[in-house]
Homo-oligomer: A and B are copies of this chain.
């Protein structure tokens, strides 16, 4: 079920499947050919908000969190103040970090064949709390530069006090899976292909707007060069 390019089962709007033997079916992407891993890294590089799943008192909790991928693609850094408290307190807890890009609605000839074009990456692992000050600084730099390249050297970097107050977690990307759906609906060849129904895809993509200055920005401060281009992010 964990293929790089996957056609979902013909269930309306089916996205990713939860299979009974889910973790055993995961591929270790590092041990595979480069193709799946390239898909994984492309998905992670294009995004900056993941949905983090943790189990708290037996109950799943899914929270959005920003993340940064180290340039080599081996480690995702994320945090979120109190967010990581439960993880720091239970350091051997496996989590699931999922990044999803929605690319379009698949409008088919029957309800049953409707779906969504998307690319999604799931990473499982036991996150490692980053406690060393130098490594924490480096990890925060990865996070910052992942989201806004050039920003780390432009703004004020964290003080020692701020570093101490920041809980940063490192997660290996080794145990990951990727699912992708692309293209038109697939019911043209079946009996529904005869129906007089329009079918196709309605694409969607995030678009970045013009920068909005802080109303309290001091006069004379202009937008720096590194903020002028279009972000690579979704």
Q: Which A residues fall within an 8 A CB radius of B?
A: 1, 8-9, 11-20, 22-23, 48-49, 51-66, 79-87, 94-98, 100, 102, 104-105, 107-112, 114, 116, 118, 120, 122, 124, 140, 143-144, 147-148, 151-152, 154-159, 162, 165-167, 184-185, 188-189, 192-218, 221-224, 227, 231, 233
Find A98's partner among B51, B55, B158, B198 (CB 8 Å cutoff): B51
* Interface secondary structure of A, over-half rule: mixed
In the complex the two chains form, is A98's CB within 8 Å of B197's CB?
A: no
**What residues of B have a CB within 8 angstroms of the CB of A66 in the complex?**
13, 15, 116
In the complex the two chains form, is B107's CB within 8 Å of A14's CB?
A: no
Q: What are 13 A-B contacts defined by CB distance under 8 Å?
A: A1-B82, A14-B81, A17-B81, A55-B60, A102-B206, A107-B227, A110-B162, A112-B162, A188-B217, A193-B216, A199-B213, A201-B212, A202-B227
**What residues of B have a CB within 8 angstroms of the CB of A223 in the complex?**
198
Find A212's partner among B17, B108, B116, B200 (CB 8 Å cutoff): B200
> A201 — nearest CB in chain B belongs to which residue?
B212
In the complex the two chains form, is A216's CB within 8 Å of B184's CB?
A: yes
In the complex the two chains form, is A11's CB within 8 Å of B166's CB?
A: yes
